[in-house]
Amino acid sequence: MKIAVLVKQVPGSESVLPINEGQSWINEDPVTFVMNPPDNFALEEALLIKERKGEGEVVVVSMGPNRVQKVIREGLAKGGDRGIHIEEDEPIETDPLLIAKRFAAVLKDENFDLVLTGLQSDDTGMGQTGVLLGEILGMPTATLAIETDIQGESIRLKRELESGWFQWVQFPLPASVSIQSGLNTPRYPSLKGIMGAKKKEIKTVLGSELDASSRSQSIDKVFVSQTSKQTEVIDGDVDVAVQRIAEILRSEIKVV
């Protein structure tokens, strides 16, 4: 069982996000980066599938500038067997088709049985890389899996639909599946894992040499959203705030 997990490095949810000078993206300098939280669930699911089978290989694949080696190393510390880094000059590539083509170029000769991705990235939130990649590699795909079950040469999985509905689907391997967050409890790396990860291989390939397609879409500008709603901001002393909320509930919305 050979499994590829795609992990992205993204700004942490607590990080500052200053807009850069050209307003094209954020200024990365003060940003703290983490493994994209949805991808952490995909990584955990890959490790669990390997452990249940008792054999296999989990390959952690990431795309981006040099800094993304940190999340690959984190994946290896948790139990990944080796890593692949698709190196990009740009701090962030925002075109999902181009991203998927580059991943596909790296993965196609590896003959993976299963490709796992997170639901979407916390930075650009395009939510389509795993499905694009599946189509390019000729694999069946499914999204929002909350339970996986490998059955011989096929995979059976429980998908989340909307409004509390679910559905089981099954298709043959190889396949590309995106994982819904919350389906497992991602592990922390052990000290032994961290030490061991230093010796594991990370292969680096240049993104521009994998696929030279031109960009099909791009993020041109980022900005702070303008709210049209009149908001009363209550800030400062707790007791004053409490009195004001009580008054709002009693006299303005009249629910008490």
Give me the least distance between CB of 82 and other proteins, in Å please.
27
Q: Kindly tell me which of 199 and 221 has the beta carbon lying closer to other proteins.
A: 221
Q: What is the DSSP code (8-state) at residue 63?
A: E
Residue 18, token pair as written in the block: 């200053």
Per CB under 8 A, 231 contacts other proteins: yes
Per CB under 8 A, 212 contacts other proteins: no
Give me the least distance between CB of 253 and other proteins, in Å please.
5
Per CB under 8 A, 214 contacts other proteins: yes
Instruction: Match 């993204």 to its residue by tokens.
Output: 10
- Residue 25 phi/psi, 5-degree rounding, is -170, -165
Q: Can you tell me which of 32, 66, 190, 217 binds other proteins, judged by CB under 8 A? A: 217
Kindly calculate the radius of gyration of the chain based on its CA atoms and give it in whole angstroms: 21
Instruction: Report the half-sphere exposure of 92 (CA within 13 A, side-chain side).
Output: 20
Per CB under 8 A, 248 contacts other proteins: yes
Per CB under 8 A, 249 contacts other proteins: yes
Q: What is the DSSP code (8-state) at residue 26?
A: B
Q: Kindly tell me which of 191 and 253 has the beta carbon lying closer to other proteins.
A: 253
Give me the least distance between CB of 248 and other proteins, in Å please.
6
- Residue 241 phi/psi, 5-degree rounding, is -60, -45
Q: Can you tell me which of 57, 160, 193, 205 binds other proteins, judged by CB under 8 A? A: 160
Q: Which of residues 92-121 bind other proteins (CB under 8 A)?
A: 94-97, 100
Give me the least distance between CB of 166 and other proteins, in Å please.
6
Q: Kindly tell me which of 54 and 164 has the beta carbon lying closer to other proteins.
A: 164
Per CB under 8 A, 141 contacts other proteins: yes
Alpha carbon distance 94, 97 (integer Å): 9
Query: String of b and e for 216-246 (b: at least 16 CB within 10 Å)?
Result: eeeeeeeeeeeeeeeeeeeeeeeeeeeeeee
Per CB under 8 A, 225 contacts other proteins: yes
Three-class SS state of 114: strand
Q: Kindly tell me which of 6 and 76 has the beta carbon lying closer to other proteins.
A: 6
